[in-house]
Amino acid sequence: MKIKKLTLTQKSNMVGYGFISIWLIGIIFFFVIPVFHTLIYSFSQVTVSKTGMKTAWVGLQNFNKALFVDPNFVRNLTNSIVSMIGQVPVLVLFSMFIAVVLNQKFRGRGAARVLFFLPVIIASGISIQILSANGMSTDVSGKETMFMFKASIFPEEMSTSSVMMYLQTLVNQIFNICWKSGIQILLFLSGLQTIPQSYYEVSSLEGATAWEEFWKITFPLLSPFSLLCVVYTIIDSFTDSANPVMTLIKTAFDGFDYGFSSAMSWIYFIVILIVILLVQKIVFRNVIYMED
């Protein structure tokens, strides 16, 4: 029996399927199955015995406990959202500004890019704790702080003192701002590389200033990358180890209250998803995508 030889395209497809199969196996066993288990646990009372984990169906009891019984979850969730609202614009605008600067031609540009991306390489909970303990991230009283904005700096009527308090918070948190903006700077840099240089040449011939070029060319064409950076920063803010909701979920999990922690996790996931959809639909309704 004559065996039909594979064509070059078929061989390439088999190699591609081989590579993606590794990812599919990993995503199924290490993501899809655990997520499915947490969904079951959120509607169950989970107990740990010598024979393993046992689940007893309790319906919406865990969700009711999280939303209406537990005094900390809703409050911490609200604080996390307020903190995210104050954190995301600062990080995104700072990252865009630094990316525009690093995209210019100057001596030592490569070293400057490495310097801003270095925290991403060495970032870990232990590293930030050590740096914070040595005074790199402290408030005016010398106490350790994380990059979290409190609701008190967003009053109904913005006064001069509240604005100064907000600016003081930014100055005190400059280390954390630089630490948490490495990925966003890299994304904006890649976005700046996609803008054709001919656009700037034409605008220069028309007599446009650098300020006009930024607002008429750079800023609009960076909108897809701005959306990407905003989404990334939102998720990074919500999943930060110092986030109070994450701490609450971890505490319940460590206390073997798997049903309650799973319910809080699913509520948190739904809230994050709603926030991202609102940002995409309201803030970035007219995202400009460049055509090939």
pLDDT digit string, tens, across residues 217-271? 998 889 889 999 999 999 999 988 788 999 999 999 988 899 999 999 999 999 9
Which of 30-46 are b and which e, b meaning 16 or more Cβ less than 10 Å from the residue's Cβ? eeeeeeeebeebbbbbb
6 lies in some domain: no
138 lies in some domain: yes
The number of domains in the chain is 1
Q: Can you tell me the distance from the alpha carbon of 243 to that of 265, in angstroms, rounded to the nearest whole number?
A: 13
Please provide the average confidence, as pLDDT, over all residues in the chain: 81
Q: CA dist 272 to 231, 269, 291, Å?
A: 10, 5, 31
pLDDT digit string, tens, across residues 62-94? 999 999 999 899 999 999 999 898 889 989 999
11 lies in some domain: no
Determine the structural domain holding residue 102 and report its residue range. 70-283
The structure tokens 């701490």 sit at: 247
pLDDT digit string, tens, across residues 208-219? 888 898 888 998
Q: What is the predicted pLDDT for the residue at 2?
A: 61
Query: What are residue 55's DSSP bridge partners?
Result: 46
pLDDT band at 130 (very low <50, low <70, confident <90, very high): low
52 lies in some domain: no
Q: Describe the crossing of helices 223-238 and 258-278 by its angle, rounded to 10 degrees.
A: 160
196 lies in some domain: yes
**CATH at 170:** 1.10.3720.10
- Higher per-residue pLDDT: 17 or 146: 17
251 lies in some domain: yes
- Rg from Cα positions in the chain: 24
Q: Residue 200: is it exposed, middle or buried by C-beta count within 10 angstroms (0-12/13-18/19+)?
A: middle
pLDDT at 140 over 50: no
46 lies in some domain: no
pTM reported for the whole predicted model: 0.77
152 lies in some domain: yes
Alpha helices (runs of H) in 65-173, residue ranges in sequence order: 73-102, 109-122, 125-133, 160-172
Q: Can you tell me the distance from the alpha carbon of 271 to that of 78, in angstroms, rounded to the nearest whole number?
A: 10
